[in-house]
Chains A and B, each alone.
Chain A
Amino acid sequence: MLTQIGSILADGIMIGLIYAIAGVGLSLVLGIMGVVNVAHSAFIMLGSFFAFELFRRFGLDPIISFFLAFPVFLGAGVVVYRLLITRVETAAQTQGLVAMFGLMVLLESLGTIAWTTDTRVITVGYTNTSMVVGGVVLANVKLIAGALALLLIGAFWAFLRFTLMGRAIRAMGQNRSAAMSVGVNVRQLSAVMFGLGIACAGSAGVALGMVFPFSPNTQILWLAWAFLVVILGGLGNVANTLAAGLVVGLIQTAAAAFMPFDYVYLVLYVLLAVILVVRREGLSGATRRAI
């Protein structure tokens, strides 16, 4: 029994870390810029296929793809910001939402054209290996993906906390006009922030692709997971998003251990509904002021 609990905890933490990285970009873009990026999950899906193609064509390990994905998706995010977000950010929020929804549908459709709806997996040397620690079996691939996710979340947190640019991004989320009056080019910094959000999505896609099977239309599932983490963690706070990811990962793993897998979604979405009714700011009580 103890071993089973240990396995659930370890699995839940590792999966939770990956969920956290899937949610963190969405949370920060929403919290700091006010953009509801429903296309976030489409970039997660593209991240998975980015790793898949690099592995299939060049035999590149997904660990390397994880680090490559960050700058590639950062650039893609900046382009999307310049081409799309700048045109809708001053319009009513519904227009932005419709634009991002359109982008999500477009990316999923392009993904289906390129890769069909077949489910893919990335199988590398360590995919089906594991180690035993204190009687608890730990899947190596989950350990690696979880560690990569933790590394990226830590780097992101440190960037926002300790660098002048990170502080300027936080300041922009707290008082946009005051940030402009100290000389911050909010348009430029918003492009960087959106790019970072998409970079997190791309890297999250690589980590998810290492652990779970994927296809272009699984992105809608990732969108639900990412929003669940954001709603649970509150907006724009890296530490709270990490905690929320861990909660979702642990609940999912625990539920999957004791009931049929289909019920796992029921448990998570009942939890989501309860949170929305009882505590709309998420478990942490975090709001935009905590950015």
Chain B
Amino acid sequence: MKVSAPLLEVSNIVAGYIPGHPILRGVNLRAEPGKITVILGPNGAGKSTLLKVISGFLPPEEGVVKLGGADIAALPPHRLIEHGVALLPQGRSAFPALSVVENIELGGWTLRADRKRLREAVEAMLSRYPHLRPLQDRAAGSLSGGQQRAVEIARLLVPNPSVLLIDEPSVGLSPIVARQVYQELVAFKEEGRTILLVDQDVRAAIKVADFVYVLNSGRNDVQGDRSAFEGDLGAMVRGWLGV
């Protein structure tokens, strides 16, 4: 199943949680269609804040977020999925008291008017992640961290989004499960989806990246394709830490 993804562009974004005290101070970024674009940076650089702006949770004070040429900066979070943009938030986001299948079904909230299509989309996800099928009636909160992440990813894909915003996907997961998650990101790319990945796991993120942006103190620092970052990662991280 090939997805046709639009270009995601972020221009001169200024945003923060307290008026007059911006976290992001003029950030620019392009996430090319069908590529994995990674945002790296030290703690407090504004990586997650930038995802919040793009996903509509934090309105920017200045700047533009364009998807396929249309400005989406003013859209509330629940409208983004109508434009094919889906967010996988940081940490656990499965609904713990709902069953696995109920979680996946809610991923298709925007398809609810077409019950047949929704059922087919849920079934497609259970086929894509067959290890979830025997767990489908279990409460998501009773599953392991890796299983919950699989539920979250299945839920993310139900509406067949073309742009995926992924925030720290491997936090709290075992190394084996984390590796599987990064393999999934590559699979999403091969399906033609645009991926914007914010990550603290520098090494793992660069391995899957097509293009990398580094933010520092809310501004663009360095940027380049993967090859530019595969060299001395240690020096870059030491630079962030100031040691």
Contacts and interface: CB of A to CB of B under 8 A. Distances in A.
A186 B55 CA distance: 15
A183 B76 CA distance: 10
A289 B57 CA distance: 23
A290 B97 contact: yes
Interface in B56-101: 57, 76-82, 86-87, 89, 93-98
Contacts of A177: 57, 77, 89, 93
B107 A182 contact: yes
A208 interface: no
B57 A182 contact: no
Contacts, number: 71
B141 A289 contact: yes
B96 A181 contact: no
Contacts of B112: 164
Contact of B109 (A164, A170, A291): A164
Which label, helix, strand, loop or mixed, suits the secondary structure of the A interface? helix
A167 B97 contact: no
B93 A171 contact: no
Interface of B: 55, 57, 76-82, 86-87, 89, 93-98, 102, 105-107, 109-110, 112, 141, 155, 159
25 contacts: A164-B106, A164-B112, A167-B98, A167-B102, A170-B95, A170-B98, A171-B98, A174-B95, A174-B96, A174-B97, A177-B89, A178-B89, A178-B94, A179-B95, A180-B77, A180-B78, A181-B77, A181-B78, A181-B80, A182-B107, A183-B81, A184-B78, A185-B76, A186-B78, A291-B97
Given A174-B97, A182-B109, 12 more contacts: A164-B105, A164-B109, A167-B106, A168-B106, A170-B95, A171-B95, A174-B96, A177-B93, A181-B81, A183-B82, A289-B96, A290-B97
